[in-house]
């Protein structure tokens, strides 16, 4: 299948990059902290180990390193980048970390901002950037997903501490007039179910002066209803992907790869089964990294591209899903 021919602007995918911290936390090491085991974790999640940030491995640094490798693959002049979107829920600076990445890269002509949508963040950011390019506002964009969830995990909660890790990934995308390799997308949000997965603020009442109080800032650890999140994912992700297949007149048989948010191997397998997509086409690396939130999709794509699994003109179905609750899907053609 060739890219869709257009009389308008389309999107081409030019490069990928990723970065993970060096520090490895295995299931065996977690079992020394909480009552669990390597077998129990693997059988329920598929995760064997995850990367944990230490000093220097904040979201800005991880995002910068992932972006740099994506720019290198794209062979871009830094000065030609117009837009940088950082998908993260754990910024190094609550006012935004994308501008710091822009400065570190020396991308002086780029506008940069953060986008927060948790595990759907990268997909939402990729869709947002593609619309800017198709609208003619910008020519070249970097889309980065980076999260440092280890800072917000309750390491005494064995239900959640086994799941999360840190990392970053990035894609370099470009406006082009000959074809459009961003084939289609869909996005959904259901705030009624938002309580299933949260990183809520935790405020302490204090006083400025007599009779004038304020709430000091802070956050509680990640709170998750794992059973409800699982049921949500295995139901909604196949539905939104199937809807997108029908909207774009592409069947699941035509897909070369399925790249889902790397949350749980059972979710990946269930979605593949419901869509009748072969396991050979389902890309997974969560065994090595766990759930890195906004980083999972670009981290998986970069690994597959550099291992020559994803090749030029391959059609990729991808879906991000998680807190909000939010979820989305996109069909792209690599190249």
| 8 A C-beta contact, residue 281 and residue 300 | no
| 8 A C-beta contact, residue 137 and residue 264 | no
Tell me which residue of 212, 196, 263 sits closest to 234, measured CA to CA.
263
Q: Which of 119, 161, 181, 264 is catalytic?
A: 119
Active site residue 261: yes
Active site residue 291: yes
Beta bridge partners of 113: 85
Q: Which of 27, 58, 181, 291 is catalytic?
A: 291
CA–CA gap between residue 61 and residue 57 (Å, rounded): 6
Tell me which residue of 296, 286, 300 sits closest to 122, measured CA to CA.
296
CA angle 247, 181, 115 (to 5 degrees): 85
CA–CA gap between residue 256 and residue 230 (Å, rounded): 25
| 8 A C-beta contact, residue 265 and residue 284 | yes
CA angle 244, 298, 296 (to 5 degrees): 90
Q: Which of 27, 58, 261, 264 is catalytic?
A: 261
**Rama region for 265: left / alpha / beta (φ>0; ψ in -120 to 50; rest):** alpha
Q: Which residues are the active-site residues? A: 119, 261, 291
């Amino acid at each position: 299948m060739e890219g869709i021919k257009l009389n308008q602007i389309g999107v081409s995918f030019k490069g990928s990059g990723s970065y993970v911290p060096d520090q490895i936390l295995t299931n065996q090491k977690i079992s020394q902290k909480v009552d669990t085991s390597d077998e129990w974790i693997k059988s329920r999640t598929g995760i064997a180990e995850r990367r944990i940030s230490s000093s220097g491995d904040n979201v800005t640094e991880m995002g910068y390193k992932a972006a740099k490798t994506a720019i290198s693959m794209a062979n871009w002049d830094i000065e030609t980048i117009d837009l940088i979107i950082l998908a993260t829920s754990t910024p190094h600076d609550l006012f935004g970390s994308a501008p710091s990445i822009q400065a570190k890269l020396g991308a002086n002509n780029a506008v940069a901002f953060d986008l927060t949508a948790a595990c759907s963040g990268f997909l939402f950011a990729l869709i947002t950037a593609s619309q800017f390019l198709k609208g003619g506002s910008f020519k070249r964009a970097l889309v980065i997903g980076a999260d440092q969830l280890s800072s917000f995990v309750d390491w005494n909660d064995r239900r959640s501490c086994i799941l999360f890790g840190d990392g970053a990934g990035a894609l370099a995308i470009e406006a082009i007039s000959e074809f459009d390799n961003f084939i289609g997308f869909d996005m959904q949000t259901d705030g009624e179910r938002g309580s299933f997965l949260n990183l809520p603020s935790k405020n302490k009442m204090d006083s400025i002066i007599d009779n004038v109080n304020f709430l000091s800032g802070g956050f509680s650890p990640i709170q998750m209803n794992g059973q409800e999140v699982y049921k949500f994912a295995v139901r909604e992700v196949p539905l939104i992907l199937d809807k997108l297949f029908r909207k774009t007149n592409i069947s699941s048989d035509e897909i070369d790869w399925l790249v889902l948010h790397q949350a749980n191997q059972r979710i990946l397998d269930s979605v593949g089964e419901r869509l009748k997509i072969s396991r050979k086409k389902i890309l997974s690396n969560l065994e090595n990294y766990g759930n890195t939130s906004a980083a999972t999709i670009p981290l998986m794509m970069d690994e597959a591209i550099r291992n020559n699994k994803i090749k030029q003109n391959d059609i990729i179905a991808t879906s991000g899903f998680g807190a909000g609750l939010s979820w989305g899907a996109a069909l792209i053609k690599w190249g």
